[in-house]
Structure 1
């Protein structure tokens, strides 16, 4: 991008934001690092212009907000999966229950315990 026209950078940022949205919707988080680097470069280029009008950037700002919401949802999903996996690991180790007096009791499981089938 050698053209110093602000619209060139706005158009590039617009394309990058569309790519980012597609990657988020597809769950392709591997693409996000490269997209983020390109997005930062485009934003830095736009920040070098002091005479940009707010109205010119309104469309891409809406896309930035939309993508941020998608990214936050993706992160929440990842946190949810991590919490669920941690819970499953904890359950595999044993079961904790409370008795009528409110005391916690643990029942361990054996990792080598196998189900035997009989005909």
Structure 2
């Protein structure tokens, strides 16, 4: 790989990592997916570098690690939302109560049953 090719690949990967960061911070996971293929091909090109050229990649390595942390946090947020929605569905569909001995009882709430209030 010539120095010009190397600089072009580094520059393109640097720009791509910045775009990936923006997409992650904006929650645009579709854009992250679209960038993935190009990022993989650029990283494959960089894997062909000589050992002496690797020192120049430290800045890119920092950006890759930063973006991976952002992606991990985005996935963690998606899991949290999914768990919260599942909990809300359970609350809507049933009611948990406890008797005088502390034993839990689940009452299924369907549309046909109703709750009667007494004064």
TM superposition score normalised by structure 2:
0.83
In the alignment, structure 1 residue 8 sits paired with structure 2 residue 11: no
The 1-side partners of 2:52 and 2:34 are apart by: 26
Separation in 2 of the partners of 1:51 and 1:4? 17
CA 1:112 to 1:9, structure 2 compared with 1: closer, same or farther past 3 Å? Answer: farther
| Cα 1:91–1:50 shift into 2, 3 Å | same
Which runs of no fewer than 5 residues in structure 1 stay unpaired?
Answer: 115-119
Tell me the residue number matched to 2:48.
48
Deviates more, 1:7-16 or 1:93-102: 93-102
Number of aligned residues: 112
Give the number of the structure whose residues are more often helix, by fraction.
2
TM-score (norm 1): 0.83
Counterpart Cα distance in 2 of 1:86 and 1:71: 23
